[in-house]
């Protein structure tokens, strides 16, 4: 019984306490903490926060608009849509500053300006599409034109556009087409000011040409420097140096000590394609014929007739992408000066088991006579091109072994495509890549001038050509030292 009463009392007390607390809360609400008049800020119907002063927020918005107008030199900056400010009475303690609410709105929905969204569609699935924001469409057009003029002179572009290209007298070029390979779409719309917006033509040109906005790299000219030597030291082809430094027109231009030149690598965002009808003179390599003399000691050799290179005048259809030749069709070949074969007499008389050395300086050209060297051994945008690219002989035209030896590779693999490597036994290896077909097998011995395959564009090749490499003391891309194949023919 006693226990029951005790429990009841505790219960009563608890109720009384609860009532007291409720009363206290009510009392303080009504008379202690006054309800506040605040402004509730909504963005697209969702509450962003409360602010005490509506005007203060409006001032922040106005100030932001003003700054953006000055930054982009525009008449109108659009504030985020869907902002709603409502006056209300609340007991909520949290009130944000107008600045905090302003920043929260901006993060969610940036201010916008009217402009153009330019989309550059990549040529392959592996590359990402690029979008560029500009306010002035014509500014983009001008920047793109500057990129084109990095590869074709302003005068050439003008003559092409006005149909005033001079006729070719001896050698020269008539542009048949200039275009950007990528699809470019331009859409008018509202551009978020938290994205990069290009307003400077020079900066946009730089971005289109170099692929980024990093600071220019400069080199200060020293005594004895030439355009060729500076380009080489910075892993650029001379033509590439001239692209980066358009104030120079040829590698013969004079430099002055202390002068600053640009040495950065370009990586254009677009591909500038130029198709032309080009007539040019090209050295034709002399051939070497060997006469064996059984009365002369092995190891001895005598030049009977000095070889002399000739000159071929080639009429071609050339396609270049960002200054690099990717396709060539030789339409006509005129021999201006015939080459003179070099005749070497080689002794074969062997004493006491000595072996005759394998001839150097007696190499066959790996293609038929109608050819065009589309890329030489040397640097191309920071990477060494370890070969000679020989084009123009046509898909399926024969490829010959440059010298006698043993086939050590014959496969279709990787970026080289169908390729053959020959060990010439004198420390030299030659490589023949991108072939359409191979006619030899590993272990087979081949004679100088023997057909080993046909020209093609297998593997990573932009057009039909032979990628002809020479390596010393080892296999290509292993321990072999890449050498300029032209040394075989000098």
Binding site for Zn ion (CB under 5 A): 387, 389, 467
SS3 291: strand
- Nearest approach in angstroms of CB 409 to Zn ion is 17
Cα-Cα-Cα-Cα dihedral sign, residues 133, 138, 144, 150: negative
Closest CB to Zn ion among 364 and 387? 387
Closest CB to Zn ion among 157 and 475? 475
Measured CA to CA, the distance from residue 454 to residue 463 in angstroms comes to 14
In the chain, what are the helix, strand and coil shares in percent, each to the nearest 5? 25, 40, 40
Instruction: Name the helix (H) or strand (E) containing 87.
Output: strand 83-90
- Nearest approach in angstroms of CB 467 to Zn ion is 4
Q: Which residue is nearest to Zn ion (CB)?
A: 467
- Nearest approach in angstroms of CB 339 to Zn ion is 24
Closest CB to Zn ion among 172 and 378? 378
Closest CB to Zn ion among 230 and 390? 390
- Nearest approach in angstroms of CB 289 to Zn ion is 29
Measured CA to CA, the distance from residue 456 to residue 3 in angstroms comes to 106
- Nearest approach in angstroms of CB 271 to Zn ion is 18
Q: By C-alpha distance, which of 356, 359, 352 is closest to 298?
A: 356
First to last CA, the chain: 125
Closest CB to Zn ion among 133 and 374? 374
- Nearest approach in angstroms of CB 465 to Zn ion is 7
Instruction: Find out whether 377 and 486 touch, Cβ atoms under 8 Å.
Output: yes
Phi-psi region of 249 (alpha: psi -120 to 50; beta: other; left: phi over 0): alpha
Closest CB to Zn ion among 387 and 440? 387
- Nearest approach in angstroms of CB 315 to Zn ion is 24
Helices 201-210, 137-148: crossing angle, 10 deg rounding: 50
Measured CA to CA, the distance from residue 153 to residue 249 in angstroms comes to 10
Phi, psi at residue 139, to the nearest 5°? -65, -40
Closest CB to Zn ion among 266 and 387? 387
- Nearest approach in angstroms of CB 418 to Zn ion is 14
Closest CB to Zn ion among 191 and 387? 387
Measured CA to CA, the distance from residue 343 to residue 53 in angstroms comes to 99
Phi, psi at residue 436, to the nearest 5°? -75, -45
- Nearest approach in angstroms of CB 461 to Zn ion is 8
Closest CB to Zn ion among 364 and 373? 373
SS3 38: strand
DSSP notation for 458-488: -SS-SSSEEEEEEEESS-TTTTPEEE-GGGG
State how far Cα 446 lies from the chain centre.
39
Q: Which residue has the tokens 């990717």?
A: 326
């Amino acid at each position: 019984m006693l226990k029951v009463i005790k429990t009841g009392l505790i219960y009563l007390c608890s109720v009384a306490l609860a009532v007291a607390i409720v009363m206290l809360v009510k009392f303080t609400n009504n008379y202690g903490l006054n309800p506040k008049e605040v402004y509730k800020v909504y963005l697209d119907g969702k509450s962003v926060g409360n602010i005490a002063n509506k005007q203060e927020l409006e001032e922040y918005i106005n100030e932001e608009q003003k700054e953006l107008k000055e930054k982009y030199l525009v008449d109108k900056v659009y504030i985020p849509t869907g902002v709603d400010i409502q006056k209300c009475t609340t007991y909520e303690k949290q009130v944000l500053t107008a600045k905090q609410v302003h920043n929260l709105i901006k993060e969610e929905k940036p201010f916008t300006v009217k402009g153009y969204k330019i989309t550059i569609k990549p040529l392959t699935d592996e590359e990402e599409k690029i979008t560029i924001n500009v306010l002035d469409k014509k500014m983009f057009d001008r920047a793109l034109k500057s990129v084109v003029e990095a590869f074709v002179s302003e005068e050439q572009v003008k003559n092409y556009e006005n149909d005033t290209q001079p006729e070719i007298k001896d050698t020269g070029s008539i542009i048949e087409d200039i275009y950007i390979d990528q699809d470019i779409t331009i859409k008018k719309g509202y551009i978020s000011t938290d994205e990069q917006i290009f307003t400077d033509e020079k900066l946009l040109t730089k971005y289109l040409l170099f692929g980024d906005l990093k600071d220019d790299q400069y080199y200060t000219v020293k005594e004895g420097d030439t355009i060729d030597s500076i380009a080489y030291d910075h892993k650029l082809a001379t033509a590439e140096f001239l692209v980066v430094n358009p104030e120079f027109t040829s590698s013969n231009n004079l430099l002055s000590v202390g002068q600053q030149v640009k040495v950065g690598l370009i990586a254009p965002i677009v591909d500038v394609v130029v198709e032309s009808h080009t007539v040019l003179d090209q050295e034709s390599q002399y051939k070497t014929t060997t006469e064996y003399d059984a009365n002369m000691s092995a190891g001895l050799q005598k030049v009977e007739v000095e070889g002399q290179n000739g000159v071929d005048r080639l009429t071609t259809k050339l396609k270049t992408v960002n200054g690099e030749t990717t396709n060539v069709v030789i339409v006509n070949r005129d021999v201006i000066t015939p080459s003179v074969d070099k005749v070497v007499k080689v002794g074969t008389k062997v004493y006491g088991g000595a072996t005759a050395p394998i001839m150097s300086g007696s190499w066959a050209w790996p293609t038929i006579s109608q050819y065009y060297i589309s890329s030489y051994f040397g640097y191309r945008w920071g990477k060494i091109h370890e070969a000679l690219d020989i084009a123009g002989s046509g898909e399926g035209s024969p490829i010959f072994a440059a010298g006698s030896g043993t086939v050590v590779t014959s496969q279709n693999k990787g970026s080289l495509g169908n390729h053959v490597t020959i060990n010439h036994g004198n420390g030299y290896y030659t490589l023949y890549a991108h072939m359409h077909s191979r006619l030899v097998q590993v272990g087979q011995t081949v004679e100088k001038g023997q057909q080993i395959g046909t020209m093609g564009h297998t593997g990573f090749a932009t057009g039909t050509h032979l990628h002809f490499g020479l390596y010393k003391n080892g296999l290509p891309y292993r321990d072999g030292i890449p050498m300029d194949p032209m040394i075989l023919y000098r």
